[in-house]
Amino acid sequence: MTPAEKPLDQPRHITPEEEADYRSGDATVEWLLRQPGSFFRPYAGKWIAARDCQIVAVADNHRALMAQIEPADWPRTLIHRVERPGRVIYR
């Protein structure tokens, strides 16, 4: 990696509105991480959107999922691709 390609660590510039969105989303992140495998079973192979600790949209791919969500809601919405059953090696 050349110096120009090194990660550029920058100071944050977060507005109060952004902070409110982040905090709202934090709870949803923690909620989704607490869910057992059985919770994700109906969504295997799908893309899901979670907001306010509930699933708000499901689609077959990222584009179709994003089309279901109002852009204004994106910062508070968590996007997740649920894997299909089986062992996964990303190559």
Partner 1 sequence: MTFTKPWIAFPQDPDTKVPVLDVFLRTREGQKTREFFVVDSGADVSMATRSLCDVLGLRWDAGTEVELRGIVPREECRLMARLHPVEIYVRDADRRFTIPICFADSDDAPLLLGREGFFDAFGIYFDKKNLLTRFDW
CB 77 within 8 A of CB 56: yes
Can you read off the two tokens belonging to residue 13?
């510039």
Q: Tell me if 27 contacts partner 1 by CB under 8 A.
A: no
Integer angstrom CA distances of residue 3 from 6, 12, 25, 69: 5, 22, 34, 38
Site residues for partner 1, window 46-75 (CB under 8 A)?
Answer: 47, 60-64, 66, 71-72, 74-75
Select from 2, 3, 7, 17 the one that contacts partner 1 (CB under 8 A).
7
Select from 2, 3, 5, 17 the one that contacts partner 1 (CB under 8 A).
5
Residue 54: CB minimum distance to partner 1, A:
15
CB 58 within 8 A of CB 64: no
Distance CA 76, CA 23 (A): 8
Binding site for partner 1 (CB under 8 A): 1, 5-10, 12, 18, 21-22, 25-26, 29, 32-41, 43-44, 47, 60-64, 66, 71-72, 74-86, 88-91
